[in-house]
Amino acid sequence: MQYFDTDILIHYLVNQEPLKHQQARQLYQQAATNQTFFISLLSLQELTYALAKLQVANIDVEASAMNWHSTSLINYTAENFARAIELSRQIGFKHINDCLHTAFAEANNCSELLTYNRKEFSRIQPLTSLTITIL
Calculate mean pLDDT across residues 87-109. 96
Confidence of residue 75 (pLDDT cuts 50, 70, 90): confident
Render pLDDT for 123-133 as a digit per residue (tens, 0 to 9): 999 999 999 99
Nearest CA among 86, 31, 94, 48 for reference residue 102:
86
- Average pLDDT of the chain is 93
* Domain span including residue 24: 2-134
Give residue 35's pLDDT: 85
Residue type, 50: A
Render pLDDT for 31-72 as a digit per residue (tens, 0 to 9): 989 888 888 999 999 999 999 999 999 999 988 888 876 566
Q: For the whole model, what pTM was predicted?
A: 0.90
Count: domains in the chain: 1
CATH code of the domain in which 50 resides? 3.40.50.1010
Q: Which residues contact 99 (CB under 8 A, 6 or more apart)?
A: 83, 84, 85, 87, 88, 91, 124
Q: Is the pLDDT reported for residue 110 higher than 90?
A: yes
Give residue 4's pLDDT: 93
